[in-house]
């Protein structure tokens, strides 16, 4: 009850679609951010070899030095910010990184800000560490970009701000001006900035900028990274937090008393994946870039569904308000009528109400067919 605040966890429609499948009803699931391709065989080979070689015992709590070095080099190359292994804490997935970062930044009862729309776990993560979550609305009228005045209005007495760019669920990438404004508010109000950047390899339009690279932000930013989206390793549970060295020491103390690190054979597989270079990341990202184009093509020539331009990530948000339905009603009716499961926008916050989120996570032919059926369904509701 504490984690969800006594309310919804946002996953009711997903659970309903899974129940339908369990009962034998075929459902096209466009709900969860799960790749429709497996982890690359070469990564799995590296994982298997490491396990066979004996890397099944305790691994270094903060992470294997070689993996921490590889993550640091990746971040330094992409952000331009000097980064060493002392800045890197290996975590059992990005979600664990989010939890640990908030636990390090907050004391019980502290206010933690987050931008709405948000990934469904954000407010629960904050409550889970004893914080008080406060949403900063990023409205459709502003292209789902948070406004500095809205952040500043809630920042007095707060301790942290959580952002996500490229953004899940909207696909929006925060531009330079938006990140500059966020940095100024964080500095003026002495906030920790927790920057969830797990979609940083899925950039379709524009440029990803890590706010850690902005003036005055390196020592107050905690960056969450993961192999889940970049290397299709969702089930391997391997990610990291990039932070100032003293914060990494605190995170290591936390891990000593909770997870006790990440298995060595998984870390070795992650190291192999990072060392494989950008080509492997492009291979994993390519289906979503292709389906983004297919999405925009399928939506062209109709005016009942309006796409939020997907600049990055593996999702597209559709505005269904022109039909006179909210996202919950549309998504549930679509599931009943067409056996297509999408996520109601309200699962990701009040700012996304009136929208649905589609995960571009099934093969091209089935995906395009589902899009055409969604459009026809929407047209039938007008």
The pLDDT tens digits for 16-35 are 999 999 999 999 999 999 99
Q: Considering 239, 260, 276, which residue would you say is the last residue of a domain?
A: 276
Task: Judge contact between 168 and 306, C-beta under 8 A.
Answer: no
Q: Considering 206, 241, 276, which residue would you say is the last residue of a domain?
A: 276
**189 & 48 share domain:** yes
Residue 8 pLDDT > 90: no
The answer to whether position 362 is within a domain reads yes
**320 & 360 share domain:** yes
Angle (deg, nearest 10), helices 264-275 and 65-79: 30
Stretch 124-134: mean pLDDT, rounded?
97
The per-residue pLDDT for range 273-326, each reduced to its tens digit, is: 999 999 999 999 999 999 999 999 999 999 999 999 999 999 999 999 999 999
Stretch 136-146: mean pLDDT, rounded?
97
**323 & 263 share domain:** no
The answer to whether position 246 is within a domain reads yes
Stretch 32-46: mean pLDDT, rounded?
96
Instruction: Provide the 3-class DSSP secondary structure of residue 370.
Output: helix
pLDDT at position 146, please? 98
The per-residue pLDDT for range 102-123, each reduced to its tens digit, is: 999 999 999 999 999 999 999 9
Separation of alpha carbons 97 and 111, rounded Å: 19
pLDDT at position 382, please? 85
| 325-364 burial: b if 16+ Cβ within 10 Å, else e | bbbbebbbebbeeebbbbbbbbbbbebbbbbbbbbbbbee
Location of structure tokens 């008080």:
132
**Which pair of structure tokens corresponds to residue 66?**
């070689």
Containing domain of residue 25, as a range?
A: 12-30+279-380
**159 & 245 share domain:** yes
Please provide the size of the chain in residues. Answer: 382
**98 & 58 share domain:** yes
Tally of domains within the chain: 2
pLDDT at position 9, please? 64
What average pLDDT does the chain have? 96
Give CA 13 to chain center in angstroms.
19
The per-residue pLDDT for range 314-368, each reduced to its tens digit, is: 999 999 999 999 999 999 999 999 999 999 999 999 999 999 999 999 999 999 9
Q: Considering 276, 296, 317, which residue would you say is the last residue of a domain?
A: 276
Check residues 81 and 3 and name the one with the higher pLDDT.
81
Question: Model's pTM, two decimal places?
Answer: 0.96
**304 & 198 share domain:** no
Contacts of 326 (CB under 8 A, 6+ apart): 320, 344, 346, 353, 354
Residue 210 pLDDT > 60: yes
The answer to whether position 5 is within a domain reads no
């Amino acid at each position: 009850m504490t984690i969800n605040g006594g309310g919804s966890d946002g996953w009711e429609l997903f659970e309903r679609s899974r129940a339908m499948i369990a009962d034998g009803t075929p459902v096209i699931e466009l709900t969860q951010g799960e790749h429709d391709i497996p982890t690359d065989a070469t990564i799995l080979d590296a994982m298997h070899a490491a396990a066979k070689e004996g890397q099944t015992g305790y691994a270094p709590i903060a992470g294997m030095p070689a993996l921490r070095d590889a993550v640091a080099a990746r971040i330094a190359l992409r952000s331009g910010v000097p980064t060493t292994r002392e800045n890197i804490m290996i975590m059992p997935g990005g979600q664990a990184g989010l939890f640990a970062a908030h636990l390090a930044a907050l004391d019980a009862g502290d206010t933690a800000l987050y931008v709405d729309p948000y990934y469904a776990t954000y407010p629960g993560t904050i409550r889970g560490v004893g914080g008080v979550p406060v949403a900063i609305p990023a409205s459709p009228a502003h292209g789902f970009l948070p406004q500095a005045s809205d952040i500043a209005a809630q920042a007095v007495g707060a301790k942290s701000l959580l952002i996500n760019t490229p953004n899940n669920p909207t696909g929006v990438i925060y531009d330079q001006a938006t990140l500059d404004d966020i940095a100024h508010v964080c500095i003026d109000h002495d906030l920790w900035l927790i920057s969830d950047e797990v979609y940083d390899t899925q950039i379709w339009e524009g440029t990803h900028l890590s706010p850690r690279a902005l003036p005055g932000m390196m020592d107050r930013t905690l960056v969450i990274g993961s192999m889940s989206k970049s290397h299709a390793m969702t089930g391997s549970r391997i990610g990291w937090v990039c932070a100032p060295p003293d914060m990494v020491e605190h995170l290591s103390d936390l891990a000593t008393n909770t997870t006790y690190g990440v298995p060595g054979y998984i870390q070795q597989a992650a190291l192999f994946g990072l060392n494989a270079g950008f080509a492997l990341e492009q291979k994993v990202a390519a289906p979503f870039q292709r389906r983004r184009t297919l999405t925009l093509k399928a939506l062209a020539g109709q005016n009942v569904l309006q796409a939020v331009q997907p600049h990055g990530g593996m999702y597209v948000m559709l505005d269904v308000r022109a039909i006179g339905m909210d996202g919950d009603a549309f998504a549930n009716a679509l599931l009943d009528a067409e056996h297509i499961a999408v996520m109601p926008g309200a699962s990701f916050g009040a700012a996304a109400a009136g929208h649905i989120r589609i995960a571009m996570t099934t093969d091209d032919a089935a995906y395009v067919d589902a899009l055409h059926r969604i459009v026809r369904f929407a047209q039938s509701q007008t």
